[in-house]
Amino acid sequence: DAKTTQPNSMESNEEEPVHLPCNHSTISGTDYIHWYRQLPSQGPEYVIHGLTSNVNNRMASLAIAEDRKSSTLILHRATLRDAAVYYCIQLSQGAQKLVFGQGTRLTINP
């Protein structure tokens, strides 16, 4: 299973941007990068995914390095509700299962 590397925890302040890094050095040309998050006492929630170019949606932005060996999830203006465990997942085109690592536990200070 493809393995990604993320910091165990990060902390930020409310209304400030947050940059969550992820390393995926074994990524192949057709592997997607997915981000999910899990809020306390809830199921995982899709955040964003991308292949090569940067992606934006209403929740976040995903910046993918040119060599694709790393990416950064950007929350533009964190709220208390963004406190969660964020998982970066490398997923090949044909793969069906999401392989969750330990993720990054994000704490947002008021």
Partner 1 sequence: DSGVTQTPKHLITATGQRVTLRCSPRSGDLSVYWYQQSLDQGLQFLIQYYNGEERAKGNILERFSAQQFPDLHSELNLSSLELGDSALYFCASSVSNRGGRETQYFGPGTRLLVL
Chain residues binding partner 1 by CB under 8 A are 30-32, 34, 38, 42-46, 49, 87, 91-102
Nearer to partner 1, 12 or 71 (CB): 71
- Sign of the Cα torsion 19, 70, 103, 51 reads positive
Least distance between partner 1 and beta carbon 16 (Å):
27
| Distance separating alpha carbons of residues 5 and 72, to the nearest angstrom | 12
Tokens 């330990």 belong to which residue? Answer: 102
Nearer to partner 1, 2 or 10 (CB): 2
CA atoms within 13 A on the CB side of 108: 20
Nearer to partner 1, 12 or 36 (CB): 36
